[in-house]
Structures are given as structure tokens and as C-alpha cells.
Amino acid sequence: MIIFSTNEVSKTYANHKALDKVSINVEQGSVFGLLGPNGAGKTTLIRIINQITAPDEGEIFFMGEKLRSEHVYSIGYLPEERGLYKKMKVGEQAIYLAELKGIKKVEAKKRLEYWFNRFDIYSWWNRKVEELSKGMQQKVQFITTILHEPKLLIFDEPFSGFDPINANLLKEEILALKNKGATIIFSTHNMESVEAICDSIALINKSKKILDGRVDEIKQRFKKHEFEIILPKEEDISNYIFEGTELIDKETNNNFQVSKLKIEEGRNAELLSRIIQNTDIISYKEILPTMNEIFIDTVSNE
């Protein structure tokens, strides 16, 4: 089921077109990656989703309805530029932000106690934000983003500013939220995290959407029919190559010969049966392109 979608959304600022007929569809319960180089229009799209700005053209749907102001209660937003009131106490501030998302004070306090304990920052409740380390501030901000249990979460570069341990913690929390049924849109440059947690993506470049779909499907679409084959070191892959296969790389170490081949579509079996008649195959696998490669290829081919 599609929980969120935009239909040909355009937005023009005084000088330039920030978004040009961008349509995306976000499946309920999925993690949706919004990718693109700096200045592509991601932030504009995110601000439109959060109703911070309105599009010039196009429609936006959320939970089957046109997006309207009450929907902010069902959306949580962690902006790229994080910030809290520096002079305000942590607990007080978290309650204030929760109240703005429509949660009663008592309920907010109860939920905050749970999350503060879980993130091990409860002892900081009465401290001012400026006394906290940057990582701790990030934790506080993450909690305030998810406290109202939004159906749709928007994370803009969530991993920036986190150390590896906390980044991992965050990743697990995001996946836990997904398992609880939340839908997550997240924008990032970090392609590793895309591979790790995204189900689908949309790639935006120069204000246009140039690619979208499920991650596994996109990888299939972009595969180059390249394979990695590992043979015992006495063997030489060159002996088995025929018309239609191309040796890209060959490397022999102490035990094995690792080679990279490009094989014409549908001729895998032919190659394998040739080898297998003479020797053992230690490993054989298709090399799918990484999201990073797809990203760079697609953007630079534009």
C-alpha cells in the first residue's frame, strides 16, 4: 500500500527551478531513500512534505488523502541542520516539542522517560542543552522526532554527526521503527547506509527525478553481467574463456586465483559446465553494482 506520494510536484524559486515534476511513491512500512547530489532539490522536497513550503504545482497525498495541516501530527522530521534551544533544559524542551506535535504534557513525560532511559541520557533531564555533547544533543533530537509515534518519519542525513557506535545504534532504532510499522523517508549521501536499510530509492538530480524503484530491482537493472570466480591456484581461467566472455581482471594469491569476468547474458551455464568438468569451483557469484556506482554513473551520465 502506498502511504505517501507526490504527483508531478514542481517548485520554482525566484531564480531557479528547485523541483521539476517530481513524482515519488512510498510504500507503507518501507524505508525510502531520497538520493541526489547537493543542491538537487532534496531539501525542497522534504520541506514540501513537511508543509514548510508549498509546491507551485502538483499534488501530494498522505494516507490516501491530500496532504493537509493536521497531518503534521503523523509526521516526524529530523532536519539536516539540527538544533535545539541551547539555554533551555533538556526535559522541558522535549516536552515543549512534543506538545507542538499534539501530545499532552503528562503523556509526553511518560514517553520521554522511556526513551531517555533507553538511550541512557535520563540523568541529563534537568541540564541545559548547551552542557550536552553534540552526540547527546543528537540523541535528544532523535527522541523528540519520534516521540509522537508518527506514521511517516523523515530523516535528513541522519547519520551525520554521529560516531560509529551511535550511528549503529541509530540504524538499529530506525529498523526497529520500521518493524513497528513506521514508514521512513530518508535523505543521505551515505550509500552504504542506503544498501543497509533502504527498500526503495528515488534519485534526484538537477531538480528532476532521474531514477526510482526498489533497491534490489535497480541493482538488477544496472547489473553489467559481471561475475567473480575463484579457482584453485593451479588453474588458469584463461583456459576456459570462449567467445562472448571477457576477462576483466585476474589475480593469483597463495591459495586461489580470483578473476572477474564479463559474460554474455544466458551463457553462465556454458562457462560453468566447461570448468566443472576439469576442476573444482571454490566460489562463483554475480557482481551487482553498488548503489554508489549506480549513483555516480547515473548522475554523471545526465
Partner 1 sequence: MSKTGIIIKREYFIRVRKKSFLIMTFLGPILIASLWIIPFFLAMNSETKSRVLVVDETLMEKEGVKSSLYLHKFKNNKELIFEYGYDIQEAQDKLSQGDYDAVLEIVSTTDMPPIKGFLFFSENEPSLSAQSEIQTQLSNILKDHVLTYDYGMSGEDLEWFNNPKIGFYSKDIRSGKDSYKEIKTFLAIISGICIYMFIFMFGAQVMKSVSEEKTSRIVEVLVSSIKPVQLLMGKIIAVGLVGLTQLLLWLVLSVVIIGGLKTISPQTFTEPQEENITINERVISVDKVGEMASDSSQVNQVIQGLFSINYTLVILMFIFYFLTGYLLYAALFGAVGALIDVDTDAQQFTLPITIPLIIAMVCFPIVINAPSGGVAFWLSMIPLTSPMVMMMRIPYGVPVWEIATSMGLIILFIIFCMWLAAKIYRTGILMYGKNITYKEIWKWFKYNN
- Site membership for partner 1, residue 68 (CB under 8 A): no
Q: Three-class SS of residue 251?
A: strand
- Site membership for partner 1, residue 53 (CB under 8 A): yes
Site string for partner 1, 202-221 (x = CB under 8 A): --------------------
- Window of 68-76, 230-238, 253-261, 276-284 that interacts with partner 1 by CB under 8 A: 68-76
* Cα maximum dimension of the chain: 75
- E strands, 94-167, in order: 152-156
Closest distance between partner 1 and the C-beta of residue 208, in Å?
20
Phi, psi of 185 (to 5 degrees): -105, 125
- Site membership for partner 1, residue 107 (CB under 8 A): no
- Site membership for partner 1, residue 83 (CB under 8 A): yes
- Site membership for partner 1, residue 131 (CB under 8 A): no
Q: Which three cell numbers stand for residue 61?
A: 497525498
- Site membership for partner 1, residue 82 (CB under 8 A): yes
- Site membership for partner 1, residue 72 (CB under 8 A): yes
In this structure, are strands 200-205 and 183-187 parallel, antiparallel, or unpaired? unpaired
Q: How far is CA 73 from CA 57, 146, 296, in A?
A: 24, 11, 37
- Window of 97-105, 111-119, 209-217, 223-231 that interacts with partner 1 by CB under 8 A: 97-105
- Site membership for partner 1, residue 23 (CB under 8 A): no
Euclidean distance between CA atoms 268 and 260, whole angstroms: 13
Closest distance between partner 1 and the C-beta of residue 264, in Å?
51
Closest distance between partner 1 and the C-beta of residue 233, in Å?
56
Neighbours of 212 (CB within 10 A): 20
Closest distance between partner 1 and the C-beta of residue 101, in Å?
6
- Site membership for partner 1, residue 77 (CB under 8 A): yes
Using CB under 8 A, pick the residue from 67, 75, 237, 258 that binds partner 1: 75
Angle at 26 between CA 189 and CA 22, to 5 degrees: 70
Amino acid of residue 258: V
Using CB under 8 A, pick the residue from 81, 234, 243, 251 that binds partner 1: 81
* Number of residues counted as binding partner 1 (CB under 8 A): 31
Phi, psi of 243 (to 5 degrees): -55, 125
Classify residue 25 as left (phi > 0), alpha (psi -120 to 50) or beta.
beta
Euclidean distance between CA atoms 214 and 225, whole angstroms: 19
Q: Report the interface residues with partner 1, using CB under 8 A.
A: 12-15, 47, 50-54, 56, 69, 72, 75, 77, 79, 81-86, 88, 96-97, 99-101, 141, 144-145
